[in-house]
Amino acid sequence: MKLSQMIGGSSCKIVKSNATNKLYHKLLDMGFIPGATINIIREAPLYDPMQLKIHNYLITLRKSEAALIEVVQL
């Protein structure tokens, strides 16, 4: 399942990141490592981007980027 498909209020665990280059490194630095837990808080008022909680802090990601992260729902 892709992270972008998750709905607000649910949680998931990262399996793999399909991002490349700069985005790949940036996501790793922000803590998007395999096994990390993500809580999906909400979508923006215009449905994109999404607000997430990972490693106990809040982050926002566009859906186009979230689509590159494979997750399993918890």
Partner 1 sequence: MIKVALAGQPNCGKSTIFNMVSGIDQHIANYPGVTVDKKVGRFSYENEKIEMVDLPGTYSFSSYSLEERVSKQFILDEKPDVIVNIIDASNIKRHLYLTFQLLEIGMPVVIVLNMMDVAQRRGIVVDSKKISQMLGCKVIEASGAKGIGSKEIMEAIVQTSKNVEKYEEFSINYEELEPHIKEIENAIEQTKLTLNKRWMAIKMLEGDDTITSYLKKEFLNIEELTRTQIDKFHTLYDKDTTSFLATFRYDSADIIYHKAIKDVNIGKETITDKVDKIVLNRWLALPILFGIMFLIYELSIVGGYKLTDYTWPILAFIKNFVIDISPEAYLTDVPMVTDFAVWMINSANALINYIPIFFILFMLIAIMEDVGYMPRMAFILDRIFKKFGLHGQSTLPLVLGGAMVGGCAVPGVMATKGIADDRARMATILTVPYMNCLAKVPFYTLILGAFFKPDMSIMMFFISTVTIFTALIVAKIITSTFLKTRETAPFVMELPPYHLPTVKGVILSAAQRVWIYIYKVLTIVLAVAIVLFALLQFPGISKQSQEQYDSELEKSLTSFDKKVKKSSYYEEVDTKDEIADLLNYYDGYRNKRMATTSKDGALAIDETYNKKNPNFYKFIKPLKDNDAKIINAEIRKLAKERNRILRNIKNEKVENSLLGLSGKAVEPLTKYAGFDWKINVAFLSSFAARESAVATLGSLYEDNKEQSQRAEEAMAANSGYSELHAVAILIFMLLTPPCIATMIVVKMQTNSYKWMLFAIFFPIFLGITASSIIFTLGNLNSWSGLEAMSYFYFSIVLTALIIGFFPTKNINWQGGLKNV
Q: Residue numbers of the site for partner 1 (CB under 8 A)? A: 17, 19-31, 33-36, 41-49, 51, 55-62, 64-65
User: Cβ of residue 38: shortest distance to partner 1, in angstroms?
Assistant: 13
User: Cβ of residue 17: shortest distance to partner 1, in angstroms?
Assistant: 8
- 60, 27 in Cβ contact below 8 A? no
Using a 10 angstrom Cβ sphere, with 0-12 exposed, 13-18 middle and 19 or more buried, the burial of residue 38 is buried
User: Cβ of residue 62: shortest distance to partner 1, in angstroms?
Assistant: 5
